[in-house]
Each structure stands twice: as C-alpha cells, then as structure tokens.
Amino acid sequence: KAGVTQTPRYLIKTRGQQVTLSCSPISGHRSVSWYQQTPGQGLQFLFEYFSETQRNKGNFPGRFSGRQFSNSRSEMNVSTLELGDSALYLCASSPGTLGGNEQFFGPGTRLTVL
C-alpha cells in the first residue's frame, strides 16, 4: 500500500497570504489528523477528521481550518499567514477512530512564511 502523501512538500509564502495543504491518506483509512511541528512548541495537534466530519480540534486560532472529502483526502487551510506559522505540517491517517489506533504519518509540508 502507498503511504500517506502530502503536497506540496515545500511552500514559501508571505505574511497575510493564505495557503492550502493537501493530504492523501493510506487507502482504506478514514481518519485524518493534522499536526504542526516547530522547534519551540514541538508537535501540536491541529484537528482530526473522520467521514468528512471534524471530530476533534486543538488549540489553534480560527485561521486554521480543514476539511475532508468523501474519498478521505483532506486539506488544511491557513488564512492571513503570520511569521509564527512557519512550521512542518504533518498529516497522519488511521484506519479507525479509537485512541489505541496507530497513526501513520506523511513526510510533511514545510511552510516558510516571510
């Protein structure tokens, strides 16, 4: 099976712009989660989608949003970019929605905000 894929792998934007990141989960996985990784804050949970519905959301401002499509592919959007949004954004998929389920991570999208 193909792993989790994320596009694009690298992105450079300027403050005030918006950005959309894409994630394709492993075939058959219906749960998709997004995380932000920075040197200062580490790995932080953004949100989780299952069957096109947001199940959980972390403590991020409303500028961060996401959605999931019927084929389980997911996108996240960040509007009005700030310098502090520079980070590695990781997508993870899981076959189910139980806490004990393993999450399979993609390689990430490196976002740089200038």
Partner 1 sequence: GNSVTQMEGPVTLSEEAFLTINCTYTATGYPSLFWYVQYPGEGLQLLLKATKADDKGSNKGFEATYRKETTSFHLEKGSVQVSDSAVYFCALSGFQAGTALIFGKGTTLSVSS
Site residues for partner 1 per CB under 8 A:
31, 33, 35, 42-45, 48, 50, 55-56, 58, 90, 92, 94, 96-108
Nearer to partner 1, 18 or 56 (CB): 56
**Least distance (Å) from partner 1 to the CB of residue 50?**
7
Q: Which residue has the tokens 């076959």?
A: 95
Nearer to partner 1, 62 or 100 (CB): 100
**Least distance (Å) from partner 1 to the CB of residue 92?**
8
Nearer to partner 1, 31 or 81 (CB): 31
Dist. CA 2–CA 27, nearest whole Å? 7
**Least distance (Å) from partner 1 to the CB of residue 34?**
10
Nearer to partner 1, 19 or 46 (CB): 46
CA 76 from chain centre, in angstroms, equals: 6
